[in-house]
Amino acid sequence: MPKEEFNPLALKEQICFPIYATSRLITRLYQPLLDEIGLTYTQYLVMMVLWENDNQKVTEIGNRLFLNTNTLTPLLNKLIQKKLISKQRDESDERAFIVTLSEEGKAMKTSAECIPEKLAQSVDIPLEEVALVKSAMWKFLNSVRD
């Protein structure tokens, strides 16, 4: 059998495709779990950032999630409509806004705590391997960050 020649444009040689496809599939796995608590995946990401550290500036949330303000603002507005967060002008910098969890948003954390475990159970990969992939992805993500 002849040895396959390296093709730099072959899909299997690209780092972007498995990352893109994995992201889409993982988001699809999350959705039924998030439907139970009434959040989209991106809203869930915002809530996780706030559950980790409440009272953050919009720009801080955007930095953590690699999102621009124009992408983040509609997400925040939806969470405000759901009464999960509030957004107030920062008294020390009138150009900035502080995002704070509401009581409902704080209470939702209890409902969401089972989601990572349920997701892990739905994937047939040892947790040690998942940890290695996650570590490599964070390293890559931080190296390409603006």
For the stretch 13-69, pLDDT in tens is 999 999 999 999 999 999 999 999 999 999 999 999 999 999 999 999 999 999 999
> Cβ distance 141 to 133 under 8 Å?
no
Q: Which domains occur in the chain, in start order?
A: 15-144 (1.10.10.10)
- pLDDT (tens digit, 9 = 90+) per residue, 86-133? 999 989 888 899 999 999 999 999 999 999 999 988 888 888 898 999
Question: According to the model, what pLDDT value does residue 146 have?
Answer: 61
pLDDT at 39: 98
Residues 28-40 as b/e (b if ≥16 CB within 10 A, e otherwise) read eebeebbeebebb
> Which of 102, 56, 62 minimizes the C-alpha distance to 79?
102
Look at residue 2 and tell me whether its pLDDT is greater than 80. no
